[in-house]
Amino acid sequence: MKTNEVKPVSRLKITEVMGRAKFIRHEDKMILKFDPSHLERIEDLKRVVEYFKTMVEKMPKGSLLALVDFSGLADEDEVFDQMVKLSKFCGPHVRASAIVAKDPASTRLAKAVINHFAKINMPFFEEEDSAKKWLFSQ
């Protein structure tokens, strides 16, 4: 007999999910910021990723400036897999992207994702303002 497994569910409220994917305006340019920072549960990360994808797919191809904040994320296989899948999905829509990584684990994660896409210019920064400045120059 099979036991009924209950899949873990995200504990984030929809307003929290929506707040982690938003546009940032600077003069005449817009950046789409994806902020999975400090999410500890993979279910929460997956929910934020899915919401972010719905925003990305509405955008014209090659139009997005994307900023991703990896700060506080664990350098784990499941997190890495989610970020690689998201990067592949977003690729056609993104003109340029940058990663913010402020601690050793998120820096390792950022380097792993960047190395996975060796030919893509996706720098990482310790400070969000530096990442925004680079994106706005693209």
Residue with tokens 């706005």: 136
Enter the tokens of residue 34.
């994806």
The answer to the question of residue 37 being in a domain is yes
The answer to the question of residue 8 being in a domain is no
Enter the tokens of residue 96.
């340029």
The answer to the question of residue 4 being in a domain is no
Q: How many independent structural domains does the chain possess?
A: 1
The answer to the question of residue 90 being in a domain is yes
Note down the domain range covering 66: 14-136
The answer to the question of residue 7 being in a domain is no
Task: Report the sign of the C-alpha dihedral through residues 32, 53, 18, 59, in that order.
Answer: positive
Q: What is the pTM of this model?
A: 0.85
Q: Which residues of 92-117 are buried (b: 16+ CB within 10 A; e: fewer)?
A: ebbebbbbbbbeebbbbbbeebbeee
pLDDT tens column, 87-137: 999 989 999 999 999 999 999 999 999 888 876 778 999 999 999 999 999
DSSP state of 126: S
Domain holding 109: CATH number? 3.30.750.24
